[in-house]
Amino acid sequence: MDNSYEEIEPSDKKKVTKFQSPIPTLVRLRNVLLGKTKPDIYTRVTFYINLFIWITFMLWNFIGYFAIASRSLIFEMKKISVETIIQNRGIELGFDGDDFVTRLAVVHGVGILCWGVIFLGLVLLYRKRKQFVFFVVGGVIFYVGMNIFYLSFQFFREDTTSYDKIALLVMLASCIIHATLMSNERRGGSISFFGEAEDEED
């Protein structure tokens, strides 16, 4: 009698791969930074206005620092002398050309750190922590001071756009006003200019 057997090959197990949406990760990151509790509408409006301002200034400082740090590469690829352009402007402002390039790079580098501190302040603002105003106002004042005293007031007046000046003023004014309203709320008043706000349903 023949002992025959059939070799049963295991069927290939198909690996089921599901599309992993980044949304849950973003939500968790948002909850870590901003917390799970949604603040009142006035706090949210102040936060989002200043977040937009923060994004524009942070991007500008990153671009400025990258352009100066990569000026040799930019010249090789695009034949645009970033260094010469900055040196000429520095001479017009009364600086030595090379010294102005170094100073401008320092301002952009320190500016990135300043706006990092300001972002921390905005996170505290969303969480309605009264300390937020020190981070935001302190960061903005230090950033403006670097532009005026480390470079020059003429640079700040002529090379800083009207948008920059208005945006910085809006950030300072809105945060100082909001800090005052938060103090009023802690004393039993309203955070709104218009009296008690109606409760929102999440």
Which stretches in the chain have pLDDT values below 70?
1-23, 26-27, 29-33, 35, 189-202
Confidence at residue 74, expressed as pLDDT on a 0 to 100 scale: 87
Cα(140)–Cα(113) distance, integer angstroms = 11
**Amino acid letter, 109:** G
Average pLDDT, the chain: 83
Nearest Cα to 169, choosing from 198, 200, 149, 140? Answer: 140
One-letter amino acid of 51 = L
Domain range annotation of the chain: 36-183
Closest CA to 50 of 127, 108, 144, 115: 115
CA distance 128 to 184: 13
The pLDDT value recorded for residue 20 is 61
Amino acid at 42: Y
pTM for this structure? 0.79
pLDDT at 164: 95
For residues 191 and 184, give the distance between their C-alpha atoms in angstroms, rounded to a whole number: 7
Q: Six-digit token pair at 17?
A: 């791969």
Q: Write out pLDDT tens, residues 159-187.
A: 999 999 999 999 999 999 999 888 887 77
Tell me, what's the pLDDT at 200?
A: 47
Start-to-end CA distance of the chain, whole Å, equals 78
